[in-house]
Amino acid sequence: MSFTHRLALLLLGFSFIHTVSGRFSRCQLQWEMQRARTECRTQLQQQPPSPAGCDGEWDNVSCWRSAAVGEVLTLPCPSPFLLLFGKNGNLSRNCTESGWSDVYPVITVACYSDITDSE
């Protein structure tokens, strides 16, 4: 087999692996998350300060608006996760007197899908 044929097979193999490994690259995922963070900060700066309750925040995954104590916010999984894993899920947080609760369910349960799943 000639060098050209081996090179062509190698390139074909890499493009196949790239296609199978994900719907878009790690760089694009990082760019999408940076874009979401910037949009979130802009939105949060335009909100009036929360007199009582939880201030809006970017938690490195989702943008949470201000909420009153006792309020539960539910957001869909971030769009880059949907594009990457194809799983529609929701994330929630409670605004308590002590501040925001942790996100639930755990993001890997709500938004992640192992590509070997048969779903």
DSSP 63: E
Domain ranges of the chain: 21-110
What pLDDT is stored for residue 5 in this prediction?
45
DSSP letters of 65-101? --B-TT-EEEEEPPHHHHHHH----EEEEEEETTEEP
How many CB atoms lie under 10 A from the CB of residue 5? Answer: 9
Residue of 119, 117, 109 whose CA lies nearest to 81? 109
Taking only the tens place, the pLDDT of each residue in 53-75 is 999 999 999 999 999 999 999 99
The two three-digit tokens of residue 80, written as one number: 């880059």
The whole-number pLDDT of residue 111 equals 87
Q: What is the pLDDT of residues 5-64, one digit of tens each?
A: 454 444 455 444 444 455 567 788 888 889 999 999 999 999 887 778 999 999 999 999
pLDDT at 90: 95
CATH of domain 21-110: 4.10.1240.10
| Beta bridge pairs of residue 90 | 76
- Supply the pLDDT for residue 1: 58
Q: Which residues contact 107 (CB under 8 A, 6 or more apart)?
A: 61, 77, 81, 91
Predicted structure pTM score: 0.70
Q: Which residues, in sequence order, are bridge partners of residue 67?
A: 54
